[in-house]
Structure 1
Amino acid sequence: MEIAQKYIVQGHSISFVLRVLEVERSTYYAHVNRRQQVQETILRIGRPAPGLSYTQDGKPVSDEQICEWIMEFLAGEGAAYGYRKLTVLLRRRHKLKINKKKVYRLCKLMDVLRPQRKIKIKHPKRLANNRVITDSNQLWEVDIKYGWIQGEQRFFFLMCIIDVFDRAIVAYHIGLTCEAKHLVQITQEALMKRQLFDQEDKPVLRSDNGPQFISHRFEEACTEFGMVHERIPPNTPNKNAHIESYHAIIELECYQRHEFESYPQAYEIVSQFIQDYNRIRIHGSIYDLSPYEYREAVKQGMVKPKQVKV
């Protein structure tokens, strides 16, 4: 069939060539159609890769050599580079005229492409606003305080959520570690204690910029709980004044009065102090009542609520 095509290309008539070579017309045209289909398929797929590139002075360089250079880069200075930076190295070190698409294809062929970076969901930072608090469960503050266990020569952590209006410690965590998961846990516990978990209106939770409070895990939990989390600007503890005041109280009236010999002892004493603080300890700023007494008195209309400006 190739011989017939040769003579036809030279200008001889198709009928004459086929008669001389004793080739049926149907056979010839079937061959021509198949060949045309193959060419159309090639055009649809695109032209095959040439298998080489050229330097700036026109010298050909095989793809195998380029792959070898890429592997040398990845074993040395380009270990952390992706295909785009590898393209830059090939152009600078070996004067290649090559684009990043070809380097991408070669890297993919060798299975050395760097994994794509995952885009982390960023939660916008909400700064603490000036507020006037007129009732419980409008604004909570949260912070962490360290304690020292003398007998074990190590620290423990106390993380508390305080209601700014009634001064009660709504929920707390005492432990040898203090992580975002503990913050999520006590936030959920606080909502349940105040029977707010299924309510639409929830307190604003205010914190500083500690690692637990800026974690993705906590921000995701706040979104799930339907809470607003706001953070005070750096170096402004006065905007978290109520939890800071509570920390001064527990330092003076609990930590300095006890020398903890073990973690279980510290846990028991601090837990008991928090319970007494909520139920018994009187506060001069809330009619010399304890937090629980003041909250109940306001609810019963026995005292006038005191507005809190923060």
Structure 2
Amino acid sequence: MIAQEFIDNHFSKNKVLTLCSIARSSYYYRPSEGKRGRKPYAKAVDKSGQVVDNETVVKYVRQLFDHPFVDYGYYKTYIYLHKKKQLKISKHLVYQLMKSHQLLRSQYVNSSKKSKRNWVKDLLPQVEIAFCYLEFDIKFVWVAGQNRNMQVLTVLDVYSRWNISHYISYSIKYQDVINLFERIFEHMIIPEKMYVRCDNGAQFIAEMVQKYFKGKQVVQEFTKPATPQQNSHIDRVAGAIVSFYHGKRCLSEV
């Protein structure tokens, strides 16, 4: 390279590069060895720089999955370890550890509630008698006096379109769903074959709610995501109830 000869003879680098039309970035560039990109962390490191062994990382993941509403894949688990546990760790290492310890969602059966759900098979429920097929859902009512929303849980008989019962509260938990159906079943005879249909709200997919209906020999069906038409009856009736409360302004002073 002619330019390099002039530079070796103590000519100004800037002048030589300018006269030869060579960019400074090209002249100073030095190729690095190995694969491109940042090297993955071979081990997990805590915020103090101490190496964290793989067994401890796996223990953190198991503790995370012990929470009832956690259904994480490897990437969300990686984010959790990075932000909450403040570990410097690559997502590739997290994946390998979860895979080797049977903690991936496809392998970790207990973490996936979707696999436990009984998805609806018909767009609309097929009913022939009353009180054999119920739908339930939660809607929100704006409370002007409190400047916040109130939740309305409504249970509908699909055959007669009767509003069997509803429960109103600022916060509805899975136990409130169980309590409402417990009051309903106290005043009715459960048919030999009974179905209840709902969406995938956190209160409805809770393990205790699913166990409650199984204990009552009631089949709980879940609508598929982004298909509100599968729960159209309760959506229409619950929407009318919410409109009634809004129109009467009966919750404005609650």
Runs (4+) of structure 1 moved beyond 4 Å? 73-76, 117-123
* Superposition deviation, residue 75 in structure 1: 5.8
* CA offset digits 1:246-297 (Å, max 9, x no partner): 123123333233163333xxxxxxxxxxxxxxxxxxxxxxxxxxxxxxxxxx
Distance in 2, Cα, partners of 1:193 & 1:154: 33
Residues 121, 191 of structure 1: CA spacing in aligned structure 2 closer, same or farther, 3 A cutoff? Answer: farther
1:165 aligns with 2:140: no
Matches within 5 A, 1:85-104: none
Please tell me the residue identity of whatever aligns with 1:179.
K
TM-score by length of 2: 0.54
* CA offset digits 1:55-83 (Å, max 9, x no partner): xxxxxxxxxxxxxxxxxx99643383359
Candidates 204, 210, 216, aligned match of 2:207: 216
Is contact 1:232-1:239 (8 Å) kept? yes
Q: SS of 2:116's equivalent?
A: coil
| Percent of aligned pairs with the same amino acid | 19
Is contact 2:140-2:242 (8 Å) kept? no
Q: SS of 1:144's equivalent?
A: strand
Q: SS of 1:254's equivalent?
A: helix
Matches within 5 A, 1:104-183: 124-130=116-122, 131-183=125-177
Residues 118, 235 of structure 1: CA spacing in aligned structure 2 closer, same or farther, 3 A cutoff? Answer: closer
Q: SS of 1:145's equivalent?
A: strand
Q: List gaps (5 residues or longer) in structure 2.
A: 1-47, 60-107
Please tell me the residue identity of whatever aligns with 1:249.
A
Q: List gaps (5 residues or longer) in structure 1.
A: 1-72, 84-116, 264-310
Is contact 2:144-2:251 (8 Å) kept? yes
Q: Hey, what does 2:253 align to over in structure 1?
A: 262
Q: Hey, what does 1:225 align to over in structure 2?
A: 216
Please tell me the residue identity of whatever aligns with 1:218.
V
* Superposition deviation, residue 127 in structure 1: 1.2
Distance in 1, Cα, partners of 2:110 & 2:133: 32
Structure number with bigger Rg: 1
TM-score by length of 1: 0.45
Is contact 1:170-1:193 (8 Å) kept? no
* Superposition deviation, residue 182 in structure 1: 0.7
* Superposition deviation, residue 202 in structure 1: 4.5
Residues 239, 119 of structure 1: CA spacing in aligned structure 2 closer, same or farther, 3 A cutoff? Answer: closer
* CA offset digits 1:209-231 (Å, max 9, x no partner): 11111111111111111110001
Matches within 5 A, 1:194-213: 194-196=188-190, 201-213=192-204
Q: Hey, what does 1:185 align to over in structure 2?
A: 179
* CA offset digits 1:148-173 (Å, max 9, x no partner): 11111111111011000111122221
1:253 aligns with 2:244: yes
Residues 182, 243 of structure 1: CA spacing in aligned structure 2 closer, same or farther, 3 A cutoff? Answer: same
* Superposition deviation, residue 121 in structure 1: 9.2
Q: Hey, what does 2:57 align to over in structure 1?
A: 81
Q: Hey, what does 2:90 align to over in structure 1?
A: none
Distance in 2, Cα, partners of 1:229 & 1:125: 8
Distance in 1, Cα, partners of 2:170 & 2:211: 24
Please tell me the residue identity of whatever aligns with 2:121.
N
